[in-house]
């Protein structure tokens, strides 16, 4: 299924920019929308300090700060022997893996405790760091567009043109909620968006962006076209993301996709392979003069040895020293450390096991049969990983594909632009339950109500109610379309009208392990509930009614429906109410 785009019909220029901020590497894709022109997806392939500008589409996610918190180097300019010497002379602080600092703190697959994330500079927060990095990517992108698209590039970026820029930020699967909040704050601080401005920021999971890339390049097999599911495995530097989709033949003539099982994300990326090498070297070189060379050995392994490894029967070498560096006891000959192929394989095998086990689990739980696996992401380049996964999953009748090497590193950024232009995925599976806190009217027929009678409160109506109830709006594993509405009735009483002019209602997600009937009350498993987002609205136009409590007192009452859409890439909310039988909606 090839995506056939039509010319852009808008009369104002628009720019769509996707930033893929990765644990180890980052990249940018974009599309310029010009009236009457069919949109194309482009890639930023020139950054300061690149050895091969015009070829590389990604830069290292590395930054240097001085002791005062000033940015000294980013990306390619922060990666190399010359900058390391300069950093050492000036006491700069090197920052890597900063993406891990805005990961979800509550996760079904948490970061292993053995992994130590490099700390942030003492005067910087993760919002500061991400803001600096986004600002850098944004400036590089604008410069590249102006240089690569004379005329239209300048016009679309001119402040006088008032062209809108839509920024898309990607994140690993299941990193919605608090990570998105931090990313949005960083985007605003970086100047990408501003309160009341025309620019906007949206989000997409890396898993969905990757499947969009596969759709963009028409990589779908006959079995997928017939309705079978496909799992896209995005093997990156920090996480491995798993997402499963199938064509929805009932909608849009079978040209849109639906998610068919809960997505997953595991901290099993390629950087953790390098960390396992580091643990091995600490034991191997303990007490030797080569201990101080371990950081350099890891760096060389990361850039060369790990990328080219393919066979357990062939030894690997880390070229770290000079010809005078030799010590057979430590398998070091003429500046090269020798590693047995089986040893290197032992660093990668946990990744293989993770992929195989997760694919099999998702296949079992899927609402549709799954026949195809796509392996994408930077780590997919590793032949040993691909071949081991292929051999293991082929035994289950699965077909494992690896898209063209040129597409692997830019899958996420490119797929994010595809989302903005075509929106091929129209329904998603909830990986946790969502609902709101509520007061539940007391009913002595229920044992759990009787047990909580001491917690009862008296409403303005005079009725008794039990607080801390959880009104579940959607269950875990439920599939929702991006237009499917969830309605929550909101009724509030107050003694004064002024107390009813605004609404603030929090939406919670439940990510504990209890079955639905066990988390009816939020204090049953308080640590399992997490605030997802807050709905705030002005109710000045909503009619207010009056009620009396048995003739003893009068109170005011307001009733609206909170309408939630949770099936898109981001949650949306709206307020609705009736006035003289006419239904009204908030903006």
- Express each pLDDT in 360-392 by its tens digit: 999 999 999 999 999 998 899 899 999 999 999
Q: Can you give the pLDDT at residue 222?
A: 83
Q: Residue 65: beta bridge partners?
A: 71, 93
Cβ neighbours around 88 below 10 Å, total:
10
Decide if 427 contacts 479 (C-beta within 8 A): yes
H or E stretch including 224? Answer: helix 222-225
Does residue 286 register a pLDDT over 90?
Answer: yes
Q: Can you give the pLDDT at residue 408?
A: 53
**Of all residues in the chain, what percent carry a pLDDT higher than 70?**
95
CA 470 – CA 438 distance, rounded (Å): 6
CA 520 – CA 508 distance, rounded (Å): 13
Q: Can you give the pLDDT at residue 454?
A: 94
Q: Can you give the pLDDT at residue 252?
A: 60
Decide if 318 contacts 337 (C-beta within 8 A): yes
Helix-then-strand count for the chain, H and E:
14, 29
Beta-carbon-side half-sphere exposure of residue 462 (alpha carbons within 13 Å): 8
CA 187 – CA 174 distance, rounded (Å): 20
Decide if 37 contacts 16 (C-beta within 8 A): no
Rounded (10°) CA dihedral 153, 154, 159, 164: -10
Q: Can you give the pLDDT at residue 153?
A: 87
Q: Residue 143: beta bridge partners?
A: none
The length of the chain is 587
Residue among 95, 90, 85 at smallest CA distance from 62? 95
What DSSP state is assigned to residue 278?
H
Does residue 548 register a pLDDT over 80?
Answer: no
Decide if 277 contacts 350 (C-beta within 8 A): no
* Residue 409 pLDDT grade (very low, low, confident, very high; cuts 50, 70, 90): low
The least confident of 12-21, 211-220, 229-238 is 211-220
Does residue 406 register a pLDDT over 60?
Answer: no
Q: Can you give the pLDDT at residue 422?
A: 92
Domains defined for the chain, CATH in brackets: 14-206 (3.30.420.40), 208-266+373-426 (3.30.420), 270-346 (no CATH), 433-585 (no CATH)
**Of all residues in the chain, what percent carry a pLDDT higher than 90?**
69
The least confident of 168-172, 249-253, 287-291, 322-326 is 249-253
**3-class secondary-structure state, position 162:** coil
Q: Can you give the pLDDT at residue 81?
A: 77
Does residue 141 register a pLDDT over 80?
Answer: yes
* Residue 205 pLDDT grade (very low, low, confident, very high; cuts 50, 70, 90): very high
Two tokens, residue 504: 């603030």
Q: Can you give the pLDDT at residue 216?
A: 84
Q: Can you give the pLDDT at residue 547?
A: 76
The larger pLDDT score, comparing residue 152 to residue 584, is at: 152
What DSSP state is assigned to residue 476?
T
CA 271 – CA 460 distance, rounded (Å): 58
Residue among 92, 18, 87 at smallest CA distance from 58? 18
């Amino acid at each position: 299924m090839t995506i056939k785009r039509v010319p852009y019909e808008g009369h104002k220029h628009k720019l769509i920019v996707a930033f893929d901020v990765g644990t180890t590497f980052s990249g940018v894709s974009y599309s310029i929308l010009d009236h009457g022109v069919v949109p194309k997806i482009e890639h930023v392939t020139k950054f300061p300090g690149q050895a091969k500008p015009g070829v590389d589409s990604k830069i290292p996610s590395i930054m240097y700060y001085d002791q005062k918190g000033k940015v000294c180097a980013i990306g390619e300019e922060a990666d190399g022997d010359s900058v390391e010497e300069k950093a050492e002379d000036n006491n700069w602080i090197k920052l890597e893996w900063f993406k891990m600092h805005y990961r979800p703190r509550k996760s079904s697959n948490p970061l292993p405790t053995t992994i130590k994330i490099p700390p942030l500079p003492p005067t910087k927060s993760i919002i500061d760091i991400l803001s600096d990095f986004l600002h850098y990517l944004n400036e590089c992108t604008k410069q590249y567009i102006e240089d690569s698209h004379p005329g239209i590039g300048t016009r679309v970026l001119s402040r006088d043109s008032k062209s809108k820029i839509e920024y898309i930020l990607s994140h690993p699967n299941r990193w919605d909620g608090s990570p998105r909040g931090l990313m949005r704050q960083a985007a605003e601080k970086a100047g990408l968006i501003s309160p009341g401005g025309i620019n906007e920021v949206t989000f997409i999971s890396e898993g969905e962006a990757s499947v969009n890339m596969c759709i963009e390049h028409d990589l779908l097999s006959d079995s997928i076209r017939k309705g079978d599911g496909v799992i896209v495995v995005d093997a990156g530097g920090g996480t491995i993301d798993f997402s499963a989709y199938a064509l929805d033949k009932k909608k849009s003539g079978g040209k849109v996709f639906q998610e068919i099982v809960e997505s997953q994300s595991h901290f099993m990326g390629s950087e953790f392979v390098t960390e396992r090498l580091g643990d091995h070297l600490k034991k191997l070189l303990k007490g030797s003069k080569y201990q101080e060379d371990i950081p350099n050995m890891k760096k060389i392994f990361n850039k060369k040895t790990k990328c080219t490894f393919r066979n357990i029967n062939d030894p690997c070498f880390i070229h770290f020293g000079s010809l005078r560096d030799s010590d057979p006891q430590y398998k070091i000959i003429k500046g090269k450390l020798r590693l047995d192929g089986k040893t290197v394989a032992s660093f990668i095998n946990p990744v293989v096991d993770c992929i195989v086990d997760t694919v099999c689990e998702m296949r079992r739980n899927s609402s549709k049969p799954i026949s195809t696996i796509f392996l994408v992401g930077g780590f997919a380049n590793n032949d040993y990983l691909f071949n081991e996964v292929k051999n293991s999953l082929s035994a289950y009748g699965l077909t494992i594909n690896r898209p063209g090497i040129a597409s692997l590193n830019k899958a996420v950024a490119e797929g994010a632009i595809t989302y903005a232009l075509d929106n091929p995925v129209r329904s998603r599976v909830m990986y946790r339950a969502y609902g709101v806190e509520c007061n539940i009217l007391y009913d002595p027929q229920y044992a759990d109500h009787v047990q909580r009678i001491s917690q009862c409160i008296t409403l303005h109506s005079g009725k008794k109610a039990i607080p801390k109830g959880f009104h579940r709006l959607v269950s875990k594993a439920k599939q929702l379309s991006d237009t499917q509405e969830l309605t929550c009735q909101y009724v509030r009483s107050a003694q004064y009208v002024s107390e009813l002019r605004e609404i603030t209602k929090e939406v919670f997600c439940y990510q504990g392990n209890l079955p639905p009937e066990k988390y009816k009350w939020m204090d049953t498993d308080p640590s399992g509930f997490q605030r997802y987002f807050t709905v705030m609205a002005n109710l000045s136009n909503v009619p207010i009614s009056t009620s009396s409590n048995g003739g003893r007192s009068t109170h005011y009452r307001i009733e609206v429906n909170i309408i939630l859409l949770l099936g898109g890439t981001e949650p949306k909310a709206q307020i609705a109410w009736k006035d003289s039988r006419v239904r009204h909606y908030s903006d």
